[in-house]
Amino acid sequence: MTKINFKTLLPITAFLMLFLISCGKSYSPEQKKYIAEIETFRKQKNLQFLKDPNSPFNQDPKAVFHPLNYYDVNPDFVFKSKLIEYSKKDTITIYGTQGEERKAVRFGYLTFTYNNKPYKLNVYENKTGNGQKYYSIWFTDKTTNKETYGVGRYLEFEKRDDPNFVYTIDFNLAFNPYCAYSSNFTCAIPTREDYIDLAIEAGEKKFHE
């Protein structure tokens, strides 16, 4: 058996560590601050899901909590866009995961460019039971049903009245709907038009591996 000379390996190991560090992505102070803020937000969401009586884990006794799964925070998946309204706002049928039909208005869309290729993100107008309007973004992408939840993921969206307002599209905040944690909940299924032909390796991953 050949004896391993650890004294010889030490310089090689040190070189490899330096090489890996040098290959690692460096971030500006602003990006580091942003990454820390997102990581703090994720820790707070874990605590909320664990303690909030309205969370799916406290509403469904069969839903067992563990910390949510995420991609590493990636500042490259943050974009800016104005909201472009569709000239014809079609009312379409959206299906829920329990088979129910819902109506939603395809209101407009946001745009972003990644690796020099343009993409579109639909924004839907919905109404609560008492007629109050709210807006939703849901999407699927190349990670769907692989690293991320098979139904799709959502983004929060608060519409502003200013047509020149510039919105932030932050895929690090992409999240799973409640039906990802418990079958007691139903959630809107993104349509074929909501597919983004890109692997969005940011935001929340599958909860159940």
What pLDDT was estimated at residue 10? 41
Start-to-end C-alpha separation, the chain: 42
- Residue 129's pLDDT band (boundaries 50, 70, 90)? confident
- Residue 164's pLDDT band (boundaries 50, 70, 90)? very high
Q: In whole angstroms, what is the distance from residue 98 CA to residue 102 CA? A: 11
Residue 17, SS3? helix
- Residue 19's pLDDT band (boundaries 50, 70, 90)? very low
pTM of the model: 0.86
- Residue 6's pLDDT band (boundaries 50, 70, 90)? very low
Residue type present at position 157: F
Q: In whole angstroms, what is the distance from residue 151 CA to residue 177 CA? A: 9
Query: Average per-residue pLDDT in the chain?
Result: 90
Q: In whole angstroms, what is the distance from residue 128 CA to residue 131 CA? A: 5
What pLDDT was estimated at residue 131? 86
- Side-chain-side CA neighbours of 193 within 13 Å: the count stands at 11
Average pLDDT (58-66) is 95
What pLDDT was estimated at residue 24? 56
- Residue 9's pLDDT band (boundaries 50, 70, 90)? very low
Average pLDDT (57-69) is 96
What are the distances in angstroms from CA 1 to CA 4, 5, 6, 177? 9, 13, 15, 56
What pLDDT was estimated at residue 51? 95
Cβ atoms of 96 and 189 within 8 Å: the answer is: yes
Residues 69-84 pLDDT 10s: 999 999 999 999 999 9
